[in-house]
Homo-oligomer: A and B are copies of this chain.
Amino acid sequence: MGKNVIVGQSGGPTSVINSSLAGVYEASCRLGAEHVYGMLHGVQGLLAGKYVDLKEKLKSGLDVELLKRTPSSYLGSCRYKLPDWKDDPEPYEKLMELCKELDIGYFMYIGGNDSMDTIGKLADYGAHVGSDIRFMGVPKTIDNDLMVTDHTPGYGSAAKYISVVIKELIRDASVYGTKYVTVVEIMGRNAGWLTAAAALARGADSEGVDIICLPEVPFDMDKFLAKVAKVQESKPSVVVAVSEGVKLADGRYVCELSDSAHATDAFGHKNLTGTASYLCGVIGEKLDTKTRAIELSTLQRCAAHIASLTDIEEAYAVGAAAANAAFDGHTGEMVALKRVSDVPYRCVTELHPISDVANLEKKVPLEWLNEDKTDMLPAFLDYARPLVDGELTPVYVNGLTTHIYLPEV
């Protein structure tokens, strides 16, 4: 059996996916791996023979600390969908050959739903050909839409960024005391976890957002406009948090109503942007108010400068737990987080079969929304608050946060 580890990162970046890489790396080193290889740009890059030896790249404890503070995927990423191995075994054969050359015993893949599809297929193929390589999935996604896990690493930091900047935008938008509607567009194709996090902004020091629109709730333009107008009767500055993925009752995305073209990616997902801008256009046309559309865009998935410490630590923990499980002989499983205590908040890691996770989506429970589905109830706030808690001080040099990166990515 191989003695070395290979680890890859896949799918959209997060602020803490590198903390999971740090967890896999340091645990693998402690477990005696001679080499910990990092595939560049996930399995797609590995198929092209691209990888690095992480012990040659992460040379000190400081490098690992910077890694934990560096957003996006240190090893690069891919959006590559493996074919069914029964239809096309060629990429599988190639990957197995590469693993044999590198004497790989443990294969770790950090990613979201689509990446769990990849690791699940590899584990299936491995079992089919009698490979003794252990394949483990490490969860990652700002979207928080993975099944079986209490939440996903990456979510807490994005949620913290969203609620912190929305608090700032609320202050900014009220400054003239004039009628003004700010629509903040937040990521989330089918699951509104990130948009729901905007509800955290409300508190003794902030009026909070006035309307939240999740993709789980069919979007009704007339009701929406009526609600905006109603709120504005008593409060000139109205702040709306809207998911990029809000859909009409007929299933069309609201952003599809605008003129911009919308491409699709390798997994068939539509490129969703322009929701806030479209809504501002309609609001400006129908109501007597100024508007401003703000897209948090990729800023929300890479804002490592304000990452949640809880998130960084949990991202590290799931990475380390995957290495531990693989060395213990587990394969075809994903590490999940299980909340074992609310007060004080405490999560532990546990293992689940990949098949319980891959290609499935966890949505926001509708019972966590208020009656007219425009605000989050305390059940959600209690769920989300611990996930944004704590800060890991960035390493500032000349006033700017410091990262570590691989020029070969």
CB distance from A342 to the nearest CB of B (A): 14
CB distance from A52 to the nearest CB of B (A): 14
CB atoms of B385 and A175 under 8 A apart: no
Interface residues as binary, A259-279 with B (CB distance below 8 Å gives 1, 0 otherwise)? 000000000000000000000
CB atoms of B399 and A160 under 8 A apart: yes
Residue of B whose beta carbon sits closest to that of A175 = B77
CB distance from A112 to the nearest CB of B (A): 14
Tell me the complex Cα distance, A388–B301, Å.
23
CB atoms of B396 and A391 under 8 A apart: yes
Tell me the complex Cα distance, A41–B178, Å.
10
Stretch at the interface among A21-29, A303-311, A316-324: A303-311
- Whether A31 sits at the interface, judged by CB under 8 Å, is no
Tell me the complex Cα distance, A301–B396, Å.
21
Name the B residues within 8 Å of A308 (CB-CB).
Answer: 399
CB distance from A140 to the nearest CB of B (A): 13
CB atoms of A171 and B399 under 8 A apart: no
Measured CB to CB, the residues of A under 8 A from B are 13, 40-41, 45, 66, 70-73, 76-79, 160, 163-165, 167-169, 171-177, 200-201, 203, 205-206, 292, 294-295, 297-299, 301-306, 308, 310, 385, 388-391, 396-405, 409
Q: List 28 A-B contacts (CB under 8 A).
A: A40-B177, A41-B176, A72-B172, A72-B175, A73-B175, A76-B174, A76-B176, A76-B177, A78-B176, A79-B176, A164-B401, A167-B400, A168-B302, A171-B403, A174-B409, A200-B398, A205-B403, A205-B404, A206-B405, A292-B298, A294-B299, A308-B399, A385-B398, A385-B399, A388-B399, A388-B400, A390-B399, A391-B396
